Amino acid sequence: EPFYKQIEHCYQGNQYTSVSNNVHGFTTYQIGLHACCSSSSTTPTNCQQISQKLSLVQTIAGAPTKPTNVLWNPGNPVYISWEAPQHLNGNLNGYYVQYGLINEDIAMEDLKTVNMQSETKIICSDANNQSIYWAKVTAYNMNPDKTMVYGNYS
């Protein structure tokens, strides 16, 4: 069942553009062209297929959803673990992990940032069991033009 939800459309000469927010990142869609008449934008009627040829279009990478089940695991060694995002919206390029001591006077040099490619666990070699830490993890994708698309932090 095709969807017809159009968020915006524009006519320029004989060109028509329609944008929908009903799409997902890094997903292939089959696109066909139909002309419809309707008094309501959500229920097109009297549709006529204009083009017999269907096109395949792939959207660029979107932001992955946030990693889940982030755990601070005390022990020897201390490590942080997490699960991959539920929706990758691209070829997952990696994770950024930040952690530091819980301290009102935290300095930037006390903040640890690690770029992980595919692992979902990091050993915190400079951490100890006697201190209290905070941690956050985000996943990211990269588009062909090398722009990074970051998900939310867990």
> Are 149 and 141 in contact, with CB atoms under 8 Å apart?
yes
CA distance 55 to 31: 5
Q: Cis omega before residue 77 (within 30°)?
A: yes
Owner of token pair 């017999």 = 52
Domains along the chain with CATH numbers: 8-58 (no CATH), 68-150 (2.60.40.10)
Task: Supply the pTM of this predicted model.
Answer: 0.66
Confidence at residue 4, expressed as pLDDT on a 0 to 100 scale: 47
User: Mean pLDDT highest for which of 7-16, 53-62, 85-94?
Assistant: 85-94
pLDDT digits (tens, 9 = 90+) for 111-128: 566 777 778 888 887 777
More confident: 60 or 106: 60
Quick: pLDDT tens for 33-80. 666 665 555 555 666 666 667 778 888 888 999 999 999 888 778 888
